[in-house]
Amino acid sequence: MTKHVPSRKGREDAFIPRRLNILFAIVIVLFSVLISRLAYMQIINKDFYTDKLAKASQKVITNSSVRGQIYDAKGLALVENQVEQVATFTRSNKMTARQMKEIAAKLLQWVTLTDVDVTPRERADYYLADPEVYAEVVKTLPKDQRLDTDGNSLDETVIYNNAVASLTEEQTAYSEEELKVVELFSQMNAAAYFETVNLVTDPLTAEQIAMIAANEADLPEISTASSWKRVVAPTSLASIIGTVTTQQVGLPEEDAKEYLAKGYSLNDRVGTAYLEKQYEEVLQGQREKKEINLDRNGNVENITTIQEGSKGKNVKLTIDLAFQDGVNAILKRYFDSELATGSARYSEGVYAVALEPETGAVLAMAGYSHDTKTNEVKENALGTITNTFVPGSIVKGATLTAGWEEGVIAGNQVLLDQPIQFAGSAPITSWFTLYGNRNINAVEALQYSSNTYMVQIALDMLGQPYVPGMILKENDSLNTSMEKLRTTFGEYGLGAPTGIDLPLESTGFIPKEYSIANYLTNSFGQFDNYTPMQMAQYVATIANGGRRVSPHIAEGIYANNAEGGLGEKIEAISGKELNQVNLSAEEMALIQQGFYMVVNGGSGLTTGRGLAEGASVSISAKTGTAETFVTTETGQVLNAVNTNIVSYAPSSNPKIAVAVILPNLTDLNSAASKYITTEIINLYQSLHPMN
């Protein structure tokens, strides 16, 4: 029997329905996935995609408002906003570079530019603004500057930069008048879509404003508006005000990321230094926000204001300009006198800081810097927080504190003031040692300004009590003892951040490398360097009984009145208690008694009696005479002194603490710093009676 075998053609025909079924199944699966995805987008996650679509057709733009002002303690404006009319440009999303070029050329008929500073890149951007010109330049570029190794076009940004780099100086050589057009074009070209920028030109006249308005048809997106210019009054506080960027500069590069995270725009004007920077977010006005809605073709449908702009808040200072100017005048008069005698020929200047002890309010921060090469003297209030000086004996209250804290002295302990003689070295003495050895207590150590009392404390902290002719041992305890001494000094603010509400203050010059000799001399103020502000915080801490309070130059934040000036107080600003000095009330009272006796003691060894002469209130103080050296133009080395004084008044209920620093005088007996201190306190008493 013969078996029937299907033909090859028959078998192939049987496979066709099976293939179609598989294909239909795949199509059905794909349609199912598509329908599921559509359902997910239109039903389950509808809000997300609706919002995404809306955002794609919306743009929010912000415009900064007028900046707040800064006033002195009595409401006198120290920095204001000068309103001026400017030409403005608003860049639409459809405006081409060629159109901006044409607008800039037309606008130049109605505005003037005196100071034109055009960069090579701006010249190139202007040259390439015409599409035909750009296309020709690109066409002449080498192949590898247009295409990658696979023959695909490079990124347009890369090609453009290559085109810029290929231009010659001849191609971008423009006349003086053409450069003015380039300048205007560059300002316009820097604007983002829908952003309005103020164009920098010479101040507009009434006629120019009228002509711009009359020719608005030929000047699309050009208008005029009121702008403001930051004007700092020429006072002795001008240097601590700081500066504000222009709209063209916008956010400083180093701070841009931080400001953008806070909602700023790249062209916002911000404070770049000192008070303007410290209180940036207070002074910066509330930004106007507008929402622009576009249709599917990118045309503007409507513009809605979603946040009105408002002027920034104002800052009022703790400093009365009348007192500040008076302190400046006192400093200048005495420094000029020392210059006239030749004593201050090599001095770096003179500085004074006055604080309110209880609150830390800065009452004055004044100073003059002296260029020892040119002999030029300039106001330098900032030097009170940036310049450092050897303090001298003013630190002895802090050294006593270290002795009590470390348990090497107790109460008003008596020690023998005597020459401190180490084997193989010159003796350390007090200025009055030549009158013979004498037993003195802690109060008298301040009153007479004993160096040897302080050195004996330092030696005991080192674990090497003084024995005449002893050999000093350099060991591990040196670093520990110096750290303890500096930590105690830091409790008063010496060598530590004061916490003042100004950026960039120095924390002093505190060398990391030192010897045992440096450690000992540091105990009476002859090694580490401090700022005048640190020295003022030190004496203010003693005046208030041991509370270290951060100095503050701002008294409060204020609203604007109806005229845009100083309104009601919104927020008070006060100093913060940074720490309490680690002393008992009895020990702090001994320091205060010592400071009182420095000025009011009856002994012939009392160091600060001159401060009481002509004083209108009782003064407590500590003098500091730090030995230094200066070198003349001929190379001669002269002995000099820093004559520093820290003080407070009235002694029984202090309302003012003052630090005066007058460095590198070659008259070793100069009393100028004493006269300065008394006059500053008398001036404050006359303006703000303290009793």
The catalytic residue positions are 393
* Backbone dihedral angles phi then psi of residue 400, each to the nearest 5 degrees: -60, -40
Q: Which two tokens stand for residue 510?
A: 């505190």
d(CA 315, CA 71): 6
Is the distance from CB of 553 to CB of 275 less than 8 angstroms? yes
Interhelix angle 396-405/585-600, nearest 10 degrees: 150
Is the distance from CB of 646 to CB of 541 less than 8 angstroms? no
Closest CA to 413 of 392, 385, 440: 440
**With left for phi above 0 and alpha for psi between -120 and 50, is residue 163 left, alpha or beta?**
alpha
CB atoms within 10 A of CB 116: 13
Closest CA to 532 of 651, 377, 364, 687: 364
The secondary structure of 416-477 as a DSSP string is EE--B-BTTSPPB--TTGGG--EEE-HHHHHHTT-HHHHHHHHHHHHT----TTBPP---TH
Q: Which two tokens stand for residue 311?
A: 């002027």
> Across the strands, what pairs with 378?
369
d(CA 531, CA 388): 4
Q: Peptide bond before 650: cis, by omega within 30 degrees of 0?
A: yes
CB-based contacts of 207: which residues, under 8 Å, 6+ apart?
A: none
d(CA 12, CA 194): 67
Closest CA to 458 of 490, 494, 488, 436: 488
Closest CA to 529 of 345, 392, 342, 351: 392
Strands (E), 10-117: 58-63, 70-71, 77-90
Tokens 């260029």 label which residue?
371
Strands (E), 25-155: 58-63, 70-71, 77-90
